[in-house]
Structure 1
Amino acid sequence: MPKPLNILLIEDDAIEVMKFNRVLASMELSHKIVEANNGEEAIEVLKDREIIPDIIILDLNMPKINGIEFLGILKEDDVLKYIPAIILTTSNNHKDVMECYRLGIAGYIIKPLKYEDYVTRIKKLIEYWSTNELISQ
């Protein structure tokens, strides 16, 4: 049975945040989204441990601490390293993809240009993690 997710969205582009929120609002379940504009803000959110997200969705190209640097910090934490981190980015650079998987990401999604394709990808992503056994535990 699908369950609502606590999602940490790390994205510095306000339009991308609005698109993501719009897709989630159109879905059946009421997912809780916590937003961070960059890796530095996300680390502060996670340090509080007030809300431990079920999944983290992040962009690679961000100011202050970029996505790869954030993943390195996340994966060093004995509690937080098990949170599935999914990259949602425009970068299709093979080096970035391989480095992210080396660091232990749960997925890498390239943002499509067409909004309809974006909606499809985000819905599939959220539907998968809403029913994943790791999350339901």
Structure 2
Amino acid sequence: MTSSNILLVDNCSSDVENVKNAFSEIGIKSTLHLAQNDAEAWLMLQGENKISPIPKIILIDINEESVNGIKLLSKIRIHPALKSILVFVITRTDNEVNKAAALNLNIAGYMHKPFESTNTTDFFSILNDYWNIIEFSSEKK
């Protein structure tokens, strides 16, 4: 995947720092945009100052406090310009209800967050390899 936008929705500052460090260490060229909750993420996707171009990938922890990830996923999946975004749920907690709901909303994957920063780099290296072999639409939005 050439340089594009990725949106991270997570309100845990240490996890956000681990992701930023992993992106830097791996050399991921995409611009990482940060939202602390679903409302902030929605404004970044459809608000007055929305991210342009629309992110190709969203990483979201749907089980964090103050993040209504299922609501955000539902809105994304019914929006014509957003429904094809790849959404990965990356979470630290088990919640079978949220897991089933997210999978029913056609997420690209439901994964557990690595607990240590060294594992975060390996984790995102694997995801980056995947992102680089899949095909995205070249349509500009």
Q: CA RMSD in A?
A: 1.9
Aligned partner (choices 87, 98, 101) of residue 99 of structure 1: 101
Distance 1:120-1:101 versus aligned 2 partners, 3 A rule: same
The structural deviation recorded for 1:131 is 2.5
Output the CA distance in 2 between the equivalents of 1:72 and 1:42.
13
Match of 2:45 in 1: 46
Aligned partner (choices 118, 121, 124) of residue 120 of structure 2: 118
The structural deviation recorded for 1:73 is 1.1
Q: Does 1:5 align with 2:7?
A: no
Calculate the TM-score normalised by the size of structure 1.
Answer: 0.87
Note the residue ranges of structure 2 that are not aligned, 5 or more in a row. Answer: none
Identity among equivalent pairs (%): 27
Note the residue ranges of structure 1 that are not aligned, 5 or more in a row. Answer: none
Output the CA distance in 2 between the equivalents of 1:109 and 1:129.
15
Aligned length: 136
The structure richer in helix per residue is 1
Aligned partner (choices 113, 130, 133) of residue 131 of structure 1: 133
Calculate the TM-score normalised by the size of structure 2.
Answer: 0.85
Output the CA distance in 2 between the equivalents of 1:65 and 1:103.
16
Which string of whole-angstrom CA distances, capped at 9 and with x for unpartnered residues, describes residues 99-136 of structure 1?
A: 11101101111012233332211211122112311266
| Displaced runs of 4 or more, over 3 A | 62-65
Q: Does 1:55 align with 2:57?
A: yes
